[in-house]
């Protein structure tokens, strides 16, 4: 049984709640995440801040916390003179420590991985046009997933994947590793298409039987409320605040969604979501409100 399904059974079948934005919350607390490593920089310079953010999300009611390893590609870490296995393990350990500190032993720790383009930091992660072979992408994910799974999380989280093809390569990696539990969330350009242009419903239907938990993340709340999610397995939705990230200028622009974040919960559930949370620029306060709305 998938860990998300098992936990939902443990809590009486209610929707599960993910944490919210991690890197942007670390930054909001005064810790720099500038540079290629993004949130993983805080694993080196401010691990206590990372742990406390995890604790705060758990105390807000989150059932799952994701590690600060989204952009911590082994190649980037090596270029910075950092042992990839050691730093990725630190990211998982901090989340596990936070679970104990928060007194939430049943909460799940998800080891976060971005798409291949995340470590390029050139905006291609939102398009999928990497200009490399499938084998290069596959080997990248295989190395990251191997190192993170050895660190002892409850499941792996492949996030903001822009194309169906990259999702299929990730499914191949998981099969090679013996099918460790995982989820895969896509990024979208609109309510019917992935960022790379693939049909959203077809991609979810194709990947769900291979992985067991699929969904969408890091788009505006109202956009994800319009996306069709229904189908077999667990379905995840975790939107951003509604603001827009410019990869070229490396700044957030625009405003938060006009409606309170938690007010979208009913629409996401109606679309088929069984696991709900937040992505960039959402906060522990948003997650606490989401928990309240679901209750």
pLDDT tens, position by position, 108-160: 999 999 999 998 888 888 899 999 999 999 999 999 999 999 999 999 999 99
CA distances to 49, 86, 224 from 238, rounded to whole Å, are 22, 29, 8
Of the candidates 5, 130, 144, 141, the one whose C-alpha atom is nearest the C-alpha of residue 63 is 5
pTM higher than 0.85, yes or no? yes
User: Could you list the residue range(s) of the whole structural domain that residue 149 is in?
Assistant: 3-294
- Which is it for the CA torsion 130, 133, 136, 142, positive or negative? positive
Mean pLDDT, the chain, rounded, equals: 92
Instruction: Report yes or no: 4 and 24 within 8 Å, Cβ to Cβ.
Output: no
Structure-block tokens of residue 280: 């960039």
Task: Give the span between the Cα atoms of 114 and 122, in whole angstroms.
Answer: 13
Can you tell me whether residue 15 is helix, strand or coil? coil
Q: Where are the beta strands (DSSP E) in 114-197?
A: 155-161, 182-186, 188-190, 193-194
Angle between helices 47-59 and 84-101 (to 10 degrees): 40
CATH of the domain at 88: 3.20.20.330
- 41-75 pLDDT per residue, tens: 889 999 999 999 999 999 999 999 999 999 999 99
More confident residue, 27 or 150: 150
Q: So what's the pLDDT on residue 251?
A: 59
Q: Does residue 246 surpass a pLDDT of 60? A: no
Domains: count for the chain: 1
The residue written with tokens 């992935």 in the block is 194
| Neighbour-count burial for 173-188, b at 16+ CB within 10 Å, e otherwise | bbeeeeebbbbbbbbb
The residue written with tokens 């383009």 in the block is 117
Instruction: Report yes or no: 153 and 184 within 8 Å, Cβ to Cβ.
Output: no
Q: What angle is formed at CA 47 by the lines to CA 137 and CA 65, rounded to 5 degrees?
A: 60
Q: Where are the beta strands (DSSP E) in the chain?
A: 16-17, 64-66, 108-113, 155-161, 182-186, 188-190, 193-194, 213-217, 234-239, 244-246, 251-253, 275-278
CA distances to 149, 275, 291 from 295, rounded to whole Å, are 33, 14, 6
């Amino acid at each position: 049984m998938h860990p998300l399904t098992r936990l939902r059974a443990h809590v009486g079948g209610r929707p599960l709640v993910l944490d919210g934005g991690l890197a942007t919350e670390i930054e909001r607390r005064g810790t720099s995440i500038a540079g290629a490593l993004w949130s993983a920089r805080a694993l080196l310079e401010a691990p206590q801040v990372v742990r406390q953010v995890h604790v705060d999300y758990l105390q807000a009611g989150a059932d799952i916390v994701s590690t600060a390893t989204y952009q911590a590609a082994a190649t980037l870490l090596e270029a910075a003179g950092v042992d990839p296995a050691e730093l990725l393990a630190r990211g998982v350990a901090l989340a596990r420590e936070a679970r104990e500190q928060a007194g939430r032993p049943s909460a799940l720790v998800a080891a976060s991985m971005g798409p291949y383009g995340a470590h390029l930091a050139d905006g291609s992660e939102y398009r999928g046009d990497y200009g490399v072979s499938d084998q290069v992408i596959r080997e990248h994910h295989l190395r990251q997933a191997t190192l993170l799974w050895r660190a002892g999380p409850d499941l792996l989280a492949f996030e903001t994947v822009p194309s169906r093809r990259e999702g299929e390569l990730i499914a191949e990696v998981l099969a090679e590793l013996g099918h460790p539990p995982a989820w895969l969330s896509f990024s979208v350009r609109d309510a019917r298409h992935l960022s790379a242009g693939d049909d959203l419903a077809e991609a979810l239907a194709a990947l769900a039987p291979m992985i067991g938990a699929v969904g969408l993340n890091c788009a505006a709340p109202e956009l994800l409320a319009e996306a069709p999610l229904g189908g077999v397995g667990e379905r995840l939705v975790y939107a951003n605040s509604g603001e827009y990230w410019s990869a070229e200028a490396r700044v957030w622009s625009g405003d938060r969604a006009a409606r309170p974040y938690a007010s979208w919960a009913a629409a996401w559930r109606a679309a088929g979501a069984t696991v709900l949370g937040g992505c960039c620029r959402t906060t522990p306060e948003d997650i606490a409100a989401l928990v309240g709305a679901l209750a």
